[in-house]
Amino acid sequence: MEKIKIVGIVGSLRKGSYNRMLMDAAIEVKPEDCVIEVADISQIPLYNQDNESEVPQPVVVLKEKIKSADAILVATPEYNYSIPGVLKNAIDWASRPYDLDVFSGKAVGLMSASIGQMGGGRAQYHLRQSFVFLNAFTINKPEVMVSFAPEKFDGEGRLKDDKTKEVVRKMLVNLIELARILKQSGKVFEKI
């Protein structure tokens, strides 16, 4: 069976990011029938509609990666009850111009890790809202919201919490299944 291609996007640029560790954990526990390639959003300049016709190279690369993938996997922190600017900026760039956006019809898996007790859930709901506009299909359950992140990863940045590993794995199973259904349908989901 052909492997499902997933592009990973991490909403934190920080060295030692728990969300990057969570993405690495997803790569570790992922089912065999998928590949996950993490995109680099660190070099994307601030979006300015005046520059939309001269798309910066890091945006070209990101858009190509998303376009050729069957699914998207986001791991993001929550910043001030929402998503970090770097992630929103990357999504905004990749969504433009409107008729050449790369998100429509894609399956999207969401994960968040936070040092606090809410696990970044509020950011995920803002992110879901953006994906509604972008006509992408986010996985509803299970929700991967990793609270008290410093307790869940070891000194080498590896996820050590078995329950969290299982939730990540189950979400990926659903993401792959949805991506396969969408791919096999061959349907083009147009935005009106």
Ligand X SMILES: Cc1cc2nc3c(=O)[nH]c(=O)nc-3n(C[C@H](O)[C@H](O)[C@H](O)COP(=O)(O)O)c2cc1C
Give contact residues for ligand X (rule: CB under 6 A).
12, 14, 17-19, 77-81, 113-116, 118, 120
Task: Select 85 or 97, whichever has its Cβ closest to ligand X.
Answer: 85
Q: Which of 38, 39, 75, 81 is nearest to 149 (CA)?
A: 75
Decide: 99 and 59 in contact? Cβ < 8 Å: no
Q: How far is the CB of 121 from ligand X (least distance, A)?
A: 9
Task: Select 18 or 131, whichever has its Cβ closest to ligand X.
Answer: 18
Task: Select 81 or 133, whichever has its Cβ closest to ligand X.
Answer: 81
- Classify residue 80 by its DSSP letter: T
In sequence order, which residues have a C-beta less than 8 Å from that of residue 50 and are 6 or more positions away? none
Task: Select 123 or 167, whichever has its Cβ closest to ligand X.
Answer: 123
Q: How far is the CB of 33 from ligand X (least distance, A)?
A: 28
Q: How far is the CB of 146 from ligand X (least distance, A)?
A: 10
Amino acid in the structure at residue 112: S
Peptide bond into 45 cis (omega under 30): no
Q: How far is the CB of 188 from ligand X (least distance, A)?
A: 35
Task: Select 8 or 120, whichever has its Cβ closest to ligand X.
Answer: 120
Q: Around 39, how many Cα atoms within 13 Å sit in the side-chain half-sphere?
A: 30
Q: How far is the CB of 153 from ligand X (least distance, A)?
A: 10
Shortest-Cβ-distance residue relative to ligand X: 77
Beta strands in the chain (DSSP E): 4-10, 34-38, 71-76, 107-113, 137-138, 144-146
Decide: 173 and 191 in contact? Cβ < 8 Å: no
